[in-house]
């Protein structure tokens, strides 16, 4: 199966650097009180970016959980723009515009897995080309939705790729308390579909595994479960203190396997990357984030939009509630 | 609309509507447990797989969450899922997908994705089913913003409301009374027949007191109202047809006219939708009341086993007593 070529590998690394750099900025923005809770991407970049680069953005859908958005740059600048609105708590943060084939982050663990199966199933019923990739974590694999959706996908041979990002922690719960199975990939046997394990710190291997799964999907051979093993290098979210439960020696060891370090070393050795390039990309990443934040902050918001988009046509009840809201605001917010 | 009509049971009306809607719109996909080869455990989907094929009529694994959850994805793909939950009591296994995902999809994506999804489910008591087959859970769903709830009380309305539900761009929970499937028969217009969601039906005119209800209980209320007619008491019956959207205007109008009201539901009393109706009367037309609104409901216990069922489900006798209580002079 295809490994990424040099050009693709450079683009993958560029996206990984951008994601890591922007994640650092996001953390600070949260600490400054400028944005809400975020889940850092640190340590997951190779898996997320490597996977996304193996897809066809024109035809393939991505259903992220909540740690992924910074790694989805390949699908267009609108992803970051929507993500910054989302981080501010603006309702348009949930609106990634057509025709971008990315759905908004999913907070309910594993809930988007059946959505992915339905979407893939619907695409095959309509003879639409492409596949669907859904991200979820090791913890989410314990939810019923994972089993129900995996089973249904197996029966329907839906063109879907289940990407389980095993970062070893579900907030504070280690994988040893999450499952007694040999691996998360082995759960595929219950669905009658292939399960593969990859080193999620190597984007080439993730790219390869996703390419192969995609190939199966679009050729009518059905779903694949991929377990991509990484290590969560940061906190679960900005609201979490991992020093309470992550053994420091384990974290130190994981930091030595930081996916950005090893790939940077390799690319530099092969003259595909340089310190200048690194600086240039980091600078771009921050400027781009500032731009997206500014844009988000300047996006107008009417208080009455709290009542919009519940139904296509407003019910009598909602109209009454809208009238009440506008009156209570003194009519200044029509 | 056609001038002709035929006498059908509610089950036949539902089956006929599924046939005609699937023929009209090729985006419609039926999914659920035993809906294909078996034609549904009540035969509501009979004949569909033969006519429309197994790509459009799909027997799923026994996975309520995946039935509801994959409907989200089907809708995202541009299809129109009409899902069946075999009994409403098993919707608990799908609650996180119905409440947490389907009903929020439009809101959380600011209408990028339209959840044109219908979920059909039989519910309600009176036919001595095993556990969890008879529960009236409508109030639990009414508390979920973004979800519409339709509950027909006649075969004609079953056709008209199901047609509207399937065509509605928002998710609709369509609840079919077990007792009504074969127990309710009436004249159903041939051809296209649409009953809009959010328009209550004044089943019977009256001036002294109005009974407000929905689904199978409407039939009992109508019988009680007829019996009072002979005694010179004019009892109106309002069938809400849909709980969301709620026809507050129709409630206001008839309660204002009668000045007395009884609300009947089969579900447990506490937190039931009858309470919502009484609160609505309070908001809309409290000063037109001549006596307190009377509420009749099931008891605050889990739906009981067969031998106790008759002591649980409101019957004509209880509804009759409620009407007398409402009109009694002190």
Q: Searching chain B, which residue's CA lies closest to the CA of residue A320?
A: B248
CA A328 to each of CA A322, A333, B196: distance values in angstroms, whole numbers, following the listed order: 10, 10, 32
Cis ω on the peptide bond leading into residue A237 (within 30° of 0)? no
- Answer yes or no: do B69 and A108 touch at CB < 8 A: no
Predicted local distance difference test score (pLDDT) of residue B2? 59
Question: How are strands ordered across the β-sheet holding B118-123?
Answer: B57-59, B28-32, B80-84, B118-123, B172-177, B148-150, B242-244
The enclosing H or E element of B180 equals helix B180-183
| CA–CA distance, B109 with A309 (Å, rounded to integer) | 8
Q: Nearest C-alpha of chain B: how many angstroms from A289?
A: 22
Interface test with chain B among A148, A151, A220, by most B beta carbons within 10 Å: A148
Q: Nearest C-alpha of chain B: how many angstroms from A94?
A: 5
Pairing mode of beta strands A224-229, A195-199: parallel
> Between A92, A119, A309, which is nearest B73 by CB?
A119
Return the exposure string of B134-154: e unless at least 16 CB atoms fall within 10 Å of the residue's CB, then b.
bbbbbbbbbebebbbbbbbbb
CATH 3.40.50.970 correct for B7-189: yes
| CA–CA distance, B86 with B99 (Å, rounded to integer) | 18
Q: Strand locations in chain A, DSSP E? A: 61-63, 132-137, 160-166, 169-170, 173-174, 195-199, 224-229
In the predicted model, is pLDDT for residue B329 greater than 90? no
CA–CA–CA angle A79, A85, A88 (5° rounding): 140
Predicted local distance difference test score (pLDDT) of residue B3? 81
- Answer yes or no: do B61 and A151 touch at CB < 8 A: yes
Which residues share a beta bridge with A229? A166, A199
End-to-end CA distance of chain A: 58
| CA–CA distance, B102 with B83 (Å, rounded to integer) | 12
- Answer yes or no: do A117 and B248 touch at CB < 8 A: no
Instruction: Enumerate the residues of chain A whose CB falls inside 8 A of the CB of residue B55.
Output: 125
Q: Is A120 on the interface with B (CB under 8 A)?
A: yes
C-alpha neighbours within 13 Å on the C-beta side of residue A236: 18
Q: Is the dihedral of CA B47, B50, B56, B62 positive or negative?
A: positive
> Between A118, A309, A312, which is nearest B70 by CB?
A118
Cα-to-chain-centroid distance, residue B121: 9
Q: What are phi and psi of B268, to 5 degrees?
A: -55, 155
A93, A85 contact by CB (below 8 A): yes
Mention the CATH class of domain B201-327.
Answer: alpha beta
A15, A71 contact by CB (below 8 A): yes
> Between B68, B73, B114, which is nearest A122 by CB?
B73
pLDDT by residue for chain A (334 residues), tens only, comes to 689 999 999 999 999 999 999 999 999 999 999 999 999 999 999 999 999 999 999 999 999 999 999 999 999 999 999 999 999 999 999 999 999 999 999 999 999 999 999 999 999 999 999 999 999 999 999 999 999 999 999 999 999 999 999 999 999 999 999 999 999 999 999 999 999 999 999 999 999 999 999 999 999 999 999 999 999 999 999 999 999 999 999 999 999 999 999 999 999 999 999 999 999 999 999 999 999 999 999 999 999 999 999 999 999 999 999 999 999 998 655 5
- Answer yes or no: do A115 and B106 touch at CB < 8 A: no
Predicted local distance difference test score (pLDDT) of residue A333? 53
For the record, the structure tokens of B257 come out as 């006219």
- Answer yes or no: do A126 and B107 touch at CB < 8 A: no
Q: Is A220 on the interface with B (CB under 8 A)?
A: no
Q: Strand locations in B179-298, DSSP E? A: 185-189, 201-204, 209-213, 235-239, 242-244, 261-268, 294-298
Predicted local distance difference test score (pLDDT) of residue A330? 86
- Which parts of A219-274 fold into alpha helices (H)? 248-256, 259-269
Cis ω on the peptide bond leading into residue B249 (within 30° of 0)? no
Q: What is the pLDDT of residues B242-299, one digit of tens each?
A: 999 999 999 999 999 999 999 999 999 999 999 999 999 999 999 999 999 999 999 9
Is position B96 annotated as part of the catalytic site? no
> What are the sequence ranges of the domains in chain B?
7-189, 201-327
Q: Is A113 on the interface with B (CB under 8 A)?
A: yes
All domains of chain A in start order, with CATH: 6-299 (3.40.50.970), 302-334 (no CATH)
Q: What are phi and psi of B163, to 5 degrees?
A: -60, -45
> Between A108, A113, A120, which is nearest B96 by CB?
A108
Predicted local distance difference test score (pLDDT) of residue B1? 52
B243, B217 contact by CB (below 8 A): no
* B201-327 has the same fold as B7-189: yes
Residue with tokens 């420091």: A248
Where in the sequence numbering do the catalytic residues of A fall?
232, 236, 245
Q: Which are the contacts of B56, defined by CB distance < 8 A and separation ≥ 6?
A: A125, B22, B26, B28, B29, B30, B48
The enclosing H or E element of B7 equals strand B5-9
- Answer yes or no: do B112 and A145 touch at CB < 8 A: no
Q: Is A59 on the interface with B (CB under 8 A)?
A: no
Q: Which are the contacts of A51, defined by CB distance < 8 A and separation ≥ 6?
A: A133, A135, A163, A206, A207, A210, A228
pTM beyond cutoff 0.95: yes
Cα-to-chain-centroid distance, residue A311: 28
B174, B165 contact by CB (below 8 A): yes
> Between B73, B78, B97, which is nearest A121 by CB?
B73
Predicted local distance difference test score (pLDDT) of residue A2? 85
């Amino acid at each position: 199966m295809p490994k990424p070529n040099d050009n693709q590998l450079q683009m993958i690394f560029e996206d990984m650097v951008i994601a890591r750099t922007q994640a650092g900025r996001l953390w600070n923005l949260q600490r400054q009180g400028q944005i809400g809770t975020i889940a850092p991407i640190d340590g997951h970049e190779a898996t997320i970016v490597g996977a996304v680069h193996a897809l066809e953005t024109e035809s393939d859908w991505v259903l992220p959980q909540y740690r992924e958005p910074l790694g989805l740059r390949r699908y267009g600048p609108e992803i970051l723009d929507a993500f910054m609105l989302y981080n501010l708590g603006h309702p348009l943060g949930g609106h990634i515009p057509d025709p971008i084939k990315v759905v908004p982050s999913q907070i309910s663990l594993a809930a988007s897995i059946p959505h992915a199966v339905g979407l893939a199933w619907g695409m095959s019923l309509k003879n639409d080309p492409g596949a669907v990739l859904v991200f979820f974590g090791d913890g989410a694999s314990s939810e019923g939705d994972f089993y129900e959706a995996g089973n249904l996908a197996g029966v329907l041979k839906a063109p879907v790729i289940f990407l389980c990002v095993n970062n070893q922690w579900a907030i504070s719960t280690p994988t040893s308390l999450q499952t007694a199975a040999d691996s998360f990939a082995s759960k595929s046997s219950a669905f009658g579909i292939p399960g593969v394990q990859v080193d999620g710190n190597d984007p080439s291997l993730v790219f390869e595994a996703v390419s192969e799964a995609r190939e199966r999907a679009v050729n009518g051979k059905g779903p694949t479960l991929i377990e991509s093993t990484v290590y969560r290098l940061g906190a679960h979210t900005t609201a979490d203190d991992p020093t309470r439960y992550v053994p420091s020696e384990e974290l130190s060891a994981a930091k030595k396997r930081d996916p950005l370090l090893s790939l940077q070393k390799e690319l530099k050795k092969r003259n595909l990357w340089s310190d200048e390039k690194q600086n240039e990309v980091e600078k771009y990443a921050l400027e781009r984030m500032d731009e997206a934040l500014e844009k988000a902050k300047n996006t107008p918001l009417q208080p009455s939009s709290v009542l919009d988009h519940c139904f296509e046509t407003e019910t009598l009840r909602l109209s009454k509630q809208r009238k009440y809201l506008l009156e209570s605001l003194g009519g200044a917010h029509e | 609309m056609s001038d002709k009509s035929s006498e059908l049971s509610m089950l036949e009306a539902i089956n006929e509507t599924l046939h005609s809607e699937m023929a009209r719109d090729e985006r419609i996909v039926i999914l659920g447990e035993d809906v294909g080869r078996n034609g549904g455990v009540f035969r509501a989907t009979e004949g569909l797989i033969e006519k429309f094929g197994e790509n459009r009529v799909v027997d799923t694994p026994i996975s309520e969450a995946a039935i509801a959850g994959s409907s989200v994805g089907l809708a995202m793909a541009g299809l129109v899922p009409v899902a069946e939950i075999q009994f409403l009591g098993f919707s608990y296994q799908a609650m996180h997908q119905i409440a947490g995902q389907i009903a929020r999809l439009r809101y959380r994506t600011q209408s990028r994705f339209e959840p044109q999804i219908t979920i059909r489910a039989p519910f309600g008591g009176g036919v001595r089913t095993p556990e969890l087959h008879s529960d009236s859970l409508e109030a639990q769903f009414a508390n979920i913003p973004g979800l519409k709830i339709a509950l027909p009380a006649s075969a004609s309305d079953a056709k008209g409301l199901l047609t509207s539900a399937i065509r509605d761009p928002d998710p609709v929970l369509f609840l079919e009374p077990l007792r009504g499937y074969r127990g309710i028969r009436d004249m159903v217009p041939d051809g296209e027949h649409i009953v809009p969601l959010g328009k209550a039906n004044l089943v019977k005119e009256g001036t002294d007191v109005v009974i407000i209800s929905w689904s199978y209980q409407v039939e009992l209320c109508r019988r009680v109202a007829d019996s009072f007619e002979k005694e010179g008491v004019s009892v109106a019956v309002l069938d809400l047809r849909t709980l969301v959207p709620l026809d507050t205007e129709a409630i206001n109008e008839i309660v204002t006219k009668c000045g007395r009201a009884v609300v009947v539901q089969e579900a447990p009393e506490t937190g039931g939708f009858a309470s919502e109706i009484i609160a609505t009367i309070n908001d809309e037309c409290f000063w037109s009341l001549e006596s307190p609104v009377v509420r009749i409901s099931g008891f605050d216990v889990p739906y009981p086993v067969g031998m106790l069922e008759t002591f649980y489900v409101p019957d004509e006798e209880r509804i009759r007593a409620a009407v007398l209580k409402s009109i009694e002079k002190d």
